[in-house]
A and B are shown apart, each in its own frame.
Chain A
Amino acid sequence: MKKGWSIFFGVVIAGITGLTAVSPWMGWWLPKNLCVFGKETDDLFYLILWIVTFFFLLTEGILVYALFRYAGEPGRRAAYFHGAFSLELIWTLVPAVILLFIAFTQVQAWNRIKVASRMPPPDQIMEVSARQFEWRVRYPTDPKFLGQDALKENASAVDSWGKEAQFDDLRVVNQIHIWEGSSVRVHLKTRDVIHSFFLPNMRIKQDALPGKTIPVWFAAEKGTANTKYNDETRKWDEPTVDCDLACAELCGWGHYKMRGKLYIHKDREDYEKWLKQAKEEQDRHAVDSAAGQP
């Protein structure tokens, strides 16, 4: 059974390597990426994956081989050496260089995604208030808050919009509406506990902190529209490609059920059409309930 132990280790290592190799084919892999910076972050993931796979196979391979070759025999004596400085130097410097290389490839992507001053000028803004246990989204309907030019021109109005709700805002729960190619700027807030705004298909995640408004940006690539107006139901269809919004920070018993959906319209016009219809529906319900209608 002595050499058998090295085979035992080898089989288990091979098994987990095999599982990793087949997983993409089984559909157990990264969700579909629809975001303009998603490819960059996915590429960084793959860079690390290949480097890590190489060192994994190398070290486990050497281990399994050594366990086989040097399985003990009575009467035999091990080699008597305490170390080798040259080896120590090599296996310190080479990993150090590789690790620093990995670190430095990551810096630009991180800054471009997360640092507020590096975010691209937005085409649309929305406020997302993460709550127990739903996403309350506030969309401006005033045209001065829509489109890159208008938003740039009215920068200080945007600031006050961010701080205080306007009477003509649209409020929707658990739905994020954007259009293909639009650079979205979310003002992320919460009023109760820490939540986390997570769009897997946009490769974006940001914790919401009580007491802070945190800017988040993402943009859907062209060709990723997942909703269109349905003339029969006179509504927009449910997204064809599931684009979930999930909470990614434990926020209480309902943490698992904060499911939102991301609707990607095909263009700005379609988005504005939705915005108008949703606003009318919101206003109509208000009127109906005031009149005592259900």
Chain B
Amino acid sequence: MSSGTPHAVHAHHPGFIGKYIFSTDHKVIGIQFLFSGLIFLFIGGALAMLVRIQLGWPGAQIPILSTLFPASWGQRMDPAFYNMLFSMHASVMIFFVIIPLLAGAFGNFLIPLMIGAKDMAFPKLNMCSYWFMWPAFIVILSSFFVEGGAGASGWTSYPTVASVTMPPYPGIDFATGAEENKSLPEKTKAALFKDSPAQPAGKGQILWLVSLIFVGVSSMMGSVNYITTIINMRAPGMTLFRMPLSIWAMFITAILQAMALPVLTVALFLQLLDKTFNTTFFLPPAGLDFGNQHTAVGGGQPLLWQHLFWFYSHPAVYIMILPAMGFVSDIIATFSRKPLFGYRPMVYSLAGIAGLGFIVWGHHMFQSGMDPRLGTGFMIATIMIALPSAVKVFNWLGTVWGANIQYTTPMLNALAFVSMFVIGGLSGIFMAATPVDIAIHDTYFIVAHLHYVLFMSSLFGIFGAIYFWYPKMFGKMMSEPWGKVHFALTFVFSNCTFYPMHIIGIGLQPRRYFDWSDFGFTRHLGPLNTFISISALLLGLTQLIFVANFLFSLVWGKKSGLNPWHSNSLEWSASSPAPHGNFPVVPIVDRGPYEYASPDVEEDYQPQARNAAALSGQPVPAAH
């Protein structure tokens, strides 16, 4: 395949803005996504710390923090504020951290480099996809500061708690701040707002919807680019089945995004219309009652939102793990010094997970009031997703079996992915089983499962990918000793935080509860809740080690050289960092990416390109 359209000799010398800010270079865009993703990781993490403080010590007055809470709240956390905390924690982590880091940062950075292309198929569209995130960032951050605070109806934003606009008391219109409201003294307004039985999800929710629409458009642009680039711009010799698993994963993930996101985007628009133009997509025919207020009659269905939302959000969870699975395969093969076990089964299992991922959304709705007869079909499809997932785990085990393992920081993080994904995957089987789900739905068992696949798997995968590809991005090495300290502490504290959630989940402690301590069936779970909270705070503090390592190494890190890990894929033949245009000549690929320990060569690795030695150094503009 050709390596892409010939472009004019680079006579342009972009200034600072064109090089680092509005750049069309996929590597710069990838690093931009990386930085914004990491900043939001800390915002999402801070929200989680606040959640755990409340759950560890319900209703307590926390030192220092209590001075920030209003006197009218008794210097304690308020339940509505608490609802906002977990809603925004999840929203930020999903839409502003995990997806942008996996797809935006690493997808962008790696795809052209690993397939031997100069850049993406549509560099300007690529730049656009990053800059579309900025309105999303501004809108979501400003939602914390509007009247009523940020969205507090869960990241799932179910109607009708999220979608209703009507005021709880006559004459008070919170959405538009009507005239009759303005003459009331501030204290009265605050009191009325707080004491109303139905605080309608107001401005914060509207901003949430708008922000996510921008995120969706950004991702859809990105996925079009990735699919086109991977299909059309592979270097000569780079057949589909010689691509590293990272690229297969990004390819399949991009297809998932392209097909699922439009449904979420539509759903977001429908809810936005319900909230601002009084449409009734999600309002049932008889309308609703809040206190002695009655809404207009509807003609819609609250359940419709759930179908539309989960039709995207279930594939979304695979979007949030497939890339990490790809990275883990590449990292484990590299540091096992051994070929990846079962290349084709690994590809087919990625496809199997993605394909099945489209027909299981109803498992989020088993108890929803959806016809229960649909439950059985969704259950069977859901349980079967465990199969390709299990195949992947066995193939990773096959890769380390007989290996010559190098315990570098990236390898440790990748191994953590494997061992923790086993737990996350196995816990999913319980909730896939419909009768068992009756008891454990909306309990901490679900919270445990989701954190094992998102934190313990995806985030360890992201950490591994950052430690691994940092030299290629910045030409420097991160500190290995501090990387190992960060890994070890994160592994221990995260298990201490999230594993006990399975136990309180078996105790059926409900999720999204401001205070679990009053109920007979959860009162005794205090010690575990407190232990989880302490572990979570220690886990949060540990991440400062990672930040310090990341930032200090940018300036003071050891120079990495081309290929510090002796890895095979094409990016390791390019300079560190790679220049604009990536490769001075077109790479010619002779073999797959996992030729480690080959008897054909003396070295224990064999780069993919025949002309690997010529792929670094200053680029010479060449007509081709």
Contacts and interface: CB of A to CB of B under 8 A. Distances in A.
Interface stretch (A39-47, A139-147, A168-176): A39-47
B343 interface: yes
Contacts of B13: none
B158 A249 contact: yes
B614 interface: no
24 contacts: A8-B488, A16-B423, A28-B503, A28-B525, A29-B506, A45-B430, A48-B430, A60-B419, A60-B422, A71-B405, A72-B406, A73-B404, A79-B402, A87-B394, A103-B380, A111-B376, A193-B198, A193-B288, A206-B367, A250-B156, A253-B514, A255-B514, A256-B510, A257-B518
A220 interface: no
Contact of B337 (A66, A77, A257): A77
A200 B284 contact: no
Interface string B572-600: 00000000000000000000001011110
A99 interface: yes
A102 interface: yes
A81 interface: yes
Contacts of A9: 415-416, 419
B191 to A, nearest CB: 15
A68 to B, nearest CB: 10
Given A77-B404, A250-B153, A193 B387 contact: no
A268 to B, nearest CB: 26
B604 interface: yes
B386 A95 contact: yes
B197 interface: yes
A255 B400 CA distance: 48
Interface string A217-242: 00000000000000000000000001
A184 to B, nearest CB: 16
B422 A56 contact: yes
A209 B153 contact: no
A210 B401 contact: no
B519 A244 contact: yes
B510 A253 contact: no
A115 B374 CA distance: 10
A137 interface: no
A99 B158 CA distance: 32
A246 B519 contact: yes
B375 A59 contact: no
Interface stretch (A19-27, A151-159, A279-287): A19-27
A114 to B, nearest CB: 4
B495 A12 contact: yes
A49 to B, nearest CB: 8
A245 to B, nearest CB: 10
Interface string A92-116: 1001100110110011011101110
B387 A210 contact: no
B500 A19 contact: yes
Give the most central of A41, A62, A193, A203: most B CB within 10 Å.
A193
Given A67-B415, A72-B404, 13 more contacts: A9-B419, A56-B422, A70-B405, A78-B336, A78-B597, A82-B341, A88-B395, A193-B160, A193-B161, A198-B510, A205-B367, A244-B519, A255-B79
Chain B, interface size category, equals 35 or more
Give the most central of B197, B384, B528: most A CB within 10 Å.
B197
Contacts of B419: 9, 13, 60, 63
Interface in B489-535: 491-492, 495, 499-500, 502-504, 506-508, 510, 512-516, 518-521, 524-525, 528
A275 interface: no
Contacts of A19: 499-500, 503
A30 B423 contact: no
B170 interface: no
Given A41-B435, A45-B439, A206-B367, A252 B199 contact: yes
B517 to A, nearest CB: 10
Contacts of B516: 256
Give the most central of B367, B391, B491: most A CB within 10 Å.
B367
Contacts of A52: 426-427, 429-430
B438 A31 contact: no
B482 to A, nearest CB: 15
Interface string A255-270: 1110100000000000
B266 interface: no
Interface of A: 1-2, 5, 8-9, 12-13, 15-16, 19-20, 23, 27-31, 40-41, 44-45, 48-49, 52, 55-56, 59-60, 62-63, 66-67, 70-73, 76-84, 87-88, 91-92, 95-96, 99-100, 102-103, 106-107, 109-111, 113-115, 132-133, 191-194, 196, 198, 200-201, 203-212, 214, 242-244, 246-257, 259
A27 B524 CA distance: 8
B158 A194 contact: yes
A113 B435 contact: yes
Contact of A209 (B303, B499, B500): B303
Contacts of B502: 20
B78 to A, nearest CB: 8
A111 B372 contact: yes
Contacts of B412: 5
A251 B597 contact: no
Contacts of B528: 28
B427 to A, nearest CB: 8
Contact of B338 (A80, A106, A243, A252): A80
Nearest to A79: B402
B470 to A, nearest CB: 21
A1 B418 CA distance: 21
A83 B394 CA distance: 11
A72 B418 contact: no
Contact of A207 (B154, B367, B503, B515): B367
Contacts of B402: 70, 78-79, 81
Contacts of B514: 253, 255-256
A81 B596 CA distance: 10
Contact of A23 (B153, B406, B503): B503
A192 B231 CA distance: 50
B73 to A, nearest CB: 12
A55 B393 CA distance: 11
Contact of B302 (A63, A66, A194, A204): A194
Nearest to B518: A259
A83 B337 CA distance: 15
A31 to B, nearest CB: 5
Contact of A196 (B197, B367, B433, B495): B367
B268 to A, nearest CB: 18
B400 A194 contact: no
Contacts of A251: 161
A156 B134 CA distance: 60
Given A70-B404, A194-B160, A207 B500 contact: no
A254 B438 CA distance: 23
Contact of A254 (B79, B368, B520): B79
B405 A107 contact: no
Contacts of B197: 132-133, 252, 254
Interface in B356-407: 367-369, 372-373, 375-376, 379-380, 383-384, 386-387, 390-391, 393-395, 397-398, 400-407
Contacts of A62: 397, 401
Contacts of A5: 407, 412
A89 to B, nearest CB: 10
Contacts of A1: 407
A171 to B, nearest CB: 16
A2 B407 contact: yes
B433 A246 contact: no
A174 B599 CA distance: 74
A205 B394 contact: no
A132 B152 CA distance: 15
Given A28-B528, A48-B436, A250-B154, A82 B343 contact: yes
A106 B435 contact: yes
A110 B298 CA distance: 32
B285 interface: yes
B337 A78 contact: yes
